[in-house]
Amino acid sequence: MTKRPLHPRSLAAQAMGKIDPLTKGVVPPIHVSTTYIRDEDNAYSSGFIYGRPDNETVHEAQAVLAMLEEAKAGALLFGSGMAAATAVFQALSPGDHVVASKVMYWALRAWLLTEATRWGLKIEFVETDDLAALKAAVKPGITKLVWAETPSNPLWTITDIAAAAEIAHAAGARLAVDSTCASPVHTRPLTLGADIVMHAATKVLNGHSDVVAGALCAREDDEFWARIKTVRKGQGGILGPFEAYLLMRGMRTLHVRQERQSASAMALAQKLSAHPLVSRVLYPGLPQHPGHDIAARQMQGGFGYMLSIQVSGGERAAVKAAAHVELYKRATSLGGVESLIEHRASIEGAGSPCPPDLLRLSTGIEDFDDLYADLDQALKAGHG
């Protein structure tokens, strides 16, 4: 009898349903060995050679993520989101032309402007949500990679992934998408035409603010994916087994966390839009958001857990409001079960695309009324 296909939420909840063969435990064990026994003929029939590229706990977590992203070529875990992202650019050749989102994770943007250019990569930043501008920037036969972050941090602009893929592929380039702030619960870029999807797995994939990790998933097992594997193996940007175990634990509850977080983010965006001390709310779930129609088409079951607000009264009022939160935590990062708030312009410094009156909000799983009440009192204190 043919088994009925299971929903991704079911497969993720049970870590693909794997049972430990030794103990019959329902939670996969942590494999920590760094070396493996050779066969008598010096072969490795187990498929495991050395701990840097080979670890069963890492493989199991990669399998869960590849399933969630519908990644035919599989997934690779890295020691951080930056390690994952930079591996894509390190797989290119000197002189290659890259088009990247103007609004993106600030540390990666800084790395592209400094280290990547030292290696001979030619980086051009463009508003990737502007398809005309994107098409004008991509050079047929010259551009090798388009890097789009959507929703883009911290302004939450939306890039049309399917359209961006068409533009990239028509020029002979690949499309990589940073989907950290969407997660595979809401967006699966590979199914929309992207070639690579990247996650700072530190964020919502893990969801508990206790693991630093990164991930890449690929649509096709081609020469570029093989090159990325070589970069990861040769440069040692791996994830340890304990971190992989914690990440897999986080992915088992990803769906329920994302449903709660995105529902609260949507409710906050709607209510804060009417707040007298908020001049603007940036959230793709709002009908007035410029990218709402595209987001509604390519995001499922919600619009994510991140939003930003611009505070009436300018930078001083925004900074003061952030100083007066009680439930929200003033901290960097995002996607955890605890709600965070941050004045991004102060963090990013010179060259930041963030308006000085902007506060970035990462929505956790706390009670919605408590979250709103905390923001309300903080905004009032900021204008006091």
Q: Tell me which residues are annotated as active site.
A: 52, 105, 178, 203
Q: Which helix (H) or strand (E) holds 248?
A: helix 241-251
- Collapsing DSSP to helix, strand or coil, 292 comes out as helix
SS3 305: coil
Residues 6+ apart with CB under 8 A from 48: 36, 54, 55, 56
Kindly report the backbone phi and psi dihedral angles of residue 202, in degrees, each rounded to the nearest multiple of 5, phi listed first: -55, -30
Residues pairing with 98 in the sheet = 123, 145
CA distances from 332 to 204, 250, 309, 329 (A): 13, 19, 16, 9
Q: What is the 3-state secondary structure (H, E, C) of 162-219?
A: HHHHHHHHHCCCEEEEECCCCHHHHCCHHHHCCCEEEECCCCCCCCCCCCCCEEEEEC
* Residue 300 near residue 343 (C-beta atoms within 8 A): no
Whether the CB-CB separation of 48 and 36 falls below 8 Å is answered with yes
Sign of the alpha-carbon torsion through 179, 180, 182, 184: positive
Tokens of 45: 């029939």
